[in-house]
Amino acid sequence: MLRSKILSTGMYVPPNLFKNNDIAAMMDTSDEWIRQRTGIEQRYWVDENTSTSDLGVEAANRALKNAGIDKSEIDMIIVATLSPDHEFPGTACFVQKKLGLPGIAALDIRQQCTGFIYSLSIADQFIRSGTYKKILIVGAEVHSKGMDKTTRGRDVAVLFGDGAGAVVLGATVVKDAKTDSHILSTHIHADGTFADELWTQAPGTGNGKDRINEQDLLELRQYPKMNGKTVFVHAVKRMPETLLNALQVNSLTPEDIDLFVFHQANLRINDMIAKQFNIPEEKVFNTIQKYANTTAATIPIGLDEAVRAGKLKKGMLVASAAFGSGFTWGSAIYRW
């Protein structure tokens, strides 16, 4: 049967390292406060001349190199980001331009922290249908340019880092589903009832006469706002829910999974999921301590880190789950 598989991974973070104490110098917070509530120890932020597509291209080139293929073999580019280079066109077009791949399909996915799972699901369907053979998926974010880095905005600002992760997805003929590398299934969901519980209000056409005006700026609507309690409550419900669904669809149990690579929003969330499913600590690969929340980039960054650390090896069964703004959530199970 025709399926897709992850051929390679790649990641990139900018060189500017900001530890929690560096953040504490900007606002009323502390290393202890951040660690206890999130598990984050540090993050990387770009300089003023670096864009989301710049990070994405770096990760993409590393994924292409690791796949051992020429970039001309790529049939489609999917970029997941909530921090585009510009309002339009999509960031995938800028990634495409910088990679030198004119003519192929280029698509942006705006599903925030669930962006990589959505992208994987879309790419998997294109390959299963026989439409494309190789698809480049990039999750990339530059949060540092869009946050209120004062005490007023600390509840959000301490959480996010900049970075990019990429995978090359390729067509494969699966002869033995129990051993051959392939995407077993993906599961994507959303509930827009909670769209304004975690959002950036302006600029936007839903704000009245102007996309953004002086009043919007005075009321700081250009910065992200989050109802932290509501987001946490839904995350710890929806991520286990979609993970369980993915396991059941594939007639698997948590014990069958060799490695769990979850979205990295809060270490407490991932710890709660692991306890709920009785997952041993060594089976959960976390990167939030090093990179903070890079939204659409967290899972591909995690996959690349796990490969390079020797934690993710050929033949292993992997499960991922994510939850984010929208609200959106999703899961995927794949044989490495």
Burial class (CB in 10 A: 0-12, 13-18, 19+), 67: buried
Q: Considering the candidates 66, 187, 263, 266, report the single residue annotated as catalytic.
A: 263
Residue 187 a catalytic site member: no
From 20, 66, 270, 293, active-site residue: 293
Q: Known catalytic residue: 293?
A: yes
C-beta of residue 137 within 8 angstroms of C-beta of residue 116: yes
Q: Which residues of 148-182 are buried (b: 16+ CB within 10 A; e: fewer)?
A: bbeeebbbbbbbbbbbbbbbbbbbbebeeeeeebb
- Secondary structure, 3-state, the chain: CEEEEEEEEEEECCCCEEEHHHHHCCCCCCHHHHHHHHCCCEEECCCCCCCHHHHHHHHHHHHHHHHCCCHHHCCEEEEECCCCCCCCCCHHHHHHHHHCCCCCEEEEECCHHHHHHHHHHHHHHHHHCCCCCEEEEEEEECCHHHCCCCHHHHHHHCCECCEEEEEEEEEEECCCCCCCCEEEEEEEEECHHHHHHEECCCCCCCCCCCCCCHHHHHCCCCCCEECHHHHHHHHHHHHHHHHHHHHHHCCCCHHHCCEECCCCCCHHHHHHHHHHCCCCHHHECCCHHHHCECHHHHHHHHHHHHHHCCCCCCCCEEEEEEEECCCEEEEEEEEC
Asked about 263 being catalytic, the answer comes back as yes
Find the catalytic residue in 93, 113, 234, 270: 113
CB neighbour list of residue 304: distance below 8 Å, 6 or more residues apart = 9, 10, 11, 62, 63, 165
Active-site residue numbers?
113, 263, 293
